[in-house]
Amino acid sequence: MAPSEETSAGDKKGAGVRLPTSEEMAALDRRAAEEFGVPTLVLMEAAGRAVFEAARRMTAAAAPRVVVIAGKGNNGGDGLVAARLMLAAGWRVTVVLVARDVEVTGDAATALQAARRAGVEIINLDSLALPGLRGLLGGADLVVDGLFGTGFRGPVIGLAAKTIEALNAAARPVLAIDVPSGVHGDTGAADGTSVRATATVTMGLPKIGLVLAEGAEAAGRIWVADVGHPPRLLENSGVRTSLVTARMVATVVPARKVDAHKGHFGRVLVVAGSVGHTGAAVLAALGALRAGAGLVTLGVPAAAYPIVGPAVIEAMPHPLPDTDGAFAAEAAGAVLEMAAAADAVACGPGLTTRPGSAAVVRRLLAACTCPLVLDADALNVMAPAAGELASARPPLVLTPHPGEMARLLGARIEDVQRHRLQVARAAAERFRAVVVLKGARTIVADPRGDAYVVPTGNPAMATGGMGDVLAGAVAALAGAGLAPCDAAWAGAYLHGLAGDLTAASRGPAGILAREVADALPAALAAVRAGTVAELVTPLAAP
């Protein structure tokens, strides 16, 4: 892994990297001009220089041949500024303008006039046959994508679609400006064709769409360029979505003093398991232990105790009243007594949705006083009465996968997946709980409206038991004293990083949840050592 690099987007004192919507970024540009006296044309010139600098990093030739695909908006203007600078540096550059000159307005029109006066070769695409475009692209050392900006809303149609198809077919290195064309800047969705970039240079702050859905694949390497937004403006941007970084995790997870003992790191109660689902209880306990819990108590149905007990000898398993291998309603009192001695509780993995299990969950919601992590069947038993979650006594962390979220909200899984960020935020507000919406790029949201995108994790983790480990890890961090929301995003980050480390050593498929749990200490060590490569890096970094 490469050394960690501090991002130009902030990550100040572990604040994370802010991820604005297109509307929020446009507002920051306006404020830079109106409140700080930074003209938008100055921002465009700086953006063009950033594109030029990023292009230099992507080309080894002394005088590379570059094709800039420019649209009529500000992204096209950034590309035109970059083309002018490339020509001045002795590069061979051609701009393909996917518009007529009269359609280009504002600062982009000024950039177009300056590029023409400087002698940049500019071809209007409507006068260039597609075979000619393919020829230009095929002979390029680098293609710069400045077709659409962050405000684009799909689908891509007509000449623009054919241009993107030709660009992708050319199989040349591609540098996208701000977001790859065809990618929705706020959601990462690509409704139809979109540019597949080798790298993206994004201005001021990285956009949400670069780290979600199809945008996460389309963006390639992500550089963030400082284009002159006043630091005070970015620090007080009002943006409520952040990308979790390793530095951010290292800031909130407490270091261990030399005289520390197990009592300093929290007592976690795991309420889980049933006959046929004993592994879920074991994995949740293992997740809590490997995430650093000082003591882990494991409450399981009596019939599951002979299997669970020997499987995780470092935890303290307790057999509780059961009916046909699952919790009986009579277990609820014992669970509550155990919870009274805990600093955090994880409940749900392998629980079943039988009446006794439901009674245990409801008793915890009514009377538990420490942070309560609800996962898997604990969420499923509450789905028919999900509104009751909002009146729960303990601080709640809900960790649903998309199917469980859909059941809680009475929604379709497709809609949950299409609007992951918005859904997580809405659920956090509705249930007055921290919500961890699991999946590719896990989303953590809190009831105040803040949301966090977790960049770690990989497809090899798409196998049973991973969520059980996560529930235990989040409970361990909450039990160690982290605020529930901090425990959620830090736990999700470390869990995903443990999966990345495991996949790096084991391969891209076939890794086990137990192996990911066992890699949690190494993940935390990497975070503390500063050896985790961040998803976005400042363009100025070496």
CA atoms within 13 A on the CB side of 161: 9
- Whether residue 364 contacts residue 335, with contact meaning beta carbons closer than 8 Å, is answered with yes
Closest listed residue to residue 479, CA positions, set 319, 291, 334: 291
Q: Supply the pLDDT for residue 15.
A: 59
Q: Which CATH class is domain 247-251+266-538?
A: alpha beta
Quick one: residue 457, left, alpha or beta (phi over 0 = left, psi -120 to 50 = alpha)? left
Q: Supply the pLDDT for residue 4.
A: 38
DSSP state of 538: E
Question: How large is the angle between the packed helices 520-529 and 484-506, nearest 10 degrees?
Answer: 100
- H or E, element range at 78: helix 74-88
Where are the domain boundaries for CATH 3.40.1190.20 in the chain?
A: 247-251+266-538
20-238: CATH number: 3.40.50.10260
Q: What is the pLDDT of residues 210-269, one digit of tens each?
A: 999 999 999 999 999 999 999 999 988 999 999 999 999 999 998 888 888 888 889 999
Q: Supply the pLDDT for residue 131.
A: 83
The segments of the chain whose pLDDT lies below 70 read 1-15, 127, 541-542
CA distance 322 to 304: 9
How far apart are the two ends of the chain, measured CA to CA in Å? 16
Give the gyration radius of the chain's Cα atoms.
26
Q: What is the pLDDT of residues 86-103, one digit of tens each?
A: 999 999 999 999 999 999
**SS3 of 432-453:** CCEEEECCCCCEEECCCCCEEE
Q: Supply the pLDDT for residue 1.
A: 33
- Whether residue 57 contacts residue 94, with contact meaning beta carbons closer than 8 Å, is answered with no
CA distance 277 to 280: 6
Q: Supply the pLDDT for residue 302.
A: 98
Where are the domain boundaries for CATH 3.40.50.10260 in the chain?
A: 20-238
Q: Supply the pLDDT for residue 153.
A: 82
Q: Supply the pLDDT for residue 66.
A: 98
